[in-house]
A = this chain, B = another copy of it.
Amino acid sequence: MTQLLKEIIKKNIKVDGKDLHLLDDYFKPKKIAKGSFLLKEGEVFHAAVFVQNGLFRTFVIDENGTEHIVQFATQGMWTGDLASFISGKPSKFYTEALEESEILTITKNEWENLLQKAPFYLDFHRKLLEKGLFSLQERLLESYSVDARKKYLNLIHTFPDIIQRVPLYMIASYLGMSRETLSRVRKHLTDKK
């Protein structure tokens, strides 16, 4: 059940077998129907969510009512709003299942509890935050210095199968451009071949 999670943890921190088994007691599996929400704006995100399989998007809605997708999460990734989970403050984000999905969750309290029993999970916690910081930095830098075409190319390079799994207008939203612009970028790329 928690196979994938265990592998990922082993890759990130040093932890021995019997401590890994603790995870089975703490993380609860759950099925999530396509179209349902794990989190809506204004709510506090009380549980960490690890994606076993399926696909989620997390997005904000700005003052003009436009959606901006901040993250896609697939198998092996974490989703929801890490900052809200840690701080206990209300989130600005929505996270929605785009496919029938399976997740592992742990509530804030249980997480704190686990950290007490097995403090080396603090290292993992840290790594998570660090990765969150890192990927946000990357996206911010990209938004400054890269044009539409290159953003798209970068995405299909780092995340090839996302194109098959979500409608293009969501890709456009993720990349911070209009769906028409994305459509034209794609046309130019195929024309050149």
Q: A: which residues have CB within 8 A of B?
A: 60, 62-64, 66, 68, 70, 82-83, 86-87, 92, 122, 126, 129-130, 132-134, 136-137, 139-141, 143-145, 176
Determine whether the beta carbon of B141 is less than 8 Å from that of A140.
no
Q: Which of B87, B133, B139 contacts A132 (CB 8 A)?
A: B133
- Whole-angstrom distance between the Cβ of A83 and the nearest chain B Cβ: 5
Residue of B nearest to A85 (CB): B130
Q: Number of copies of this chain in the oligomer?
A: 2
Determine whether the beta carbon of B132 is less than 8 Å from that of A60.
no
- Whole-angstrom distance between the Cβ of A61 and the nearest chain B Cβ: 10
- Whole-angstrom distance between the Cβ of A128 and the nearest chain B Cβ: 10
Interface majority SS (helix, strand, loop, mixed), chain A? helix
Q: A68 to chain B: which residues have CB within 8 Å?
A: 141, 144-145
Determine whether the beta carbon of B70 is less than 8 Å from that of A140.
yes
Q: A136 to chain B: which residues have CB within 8 Å?
A: 133, 136-137, 140
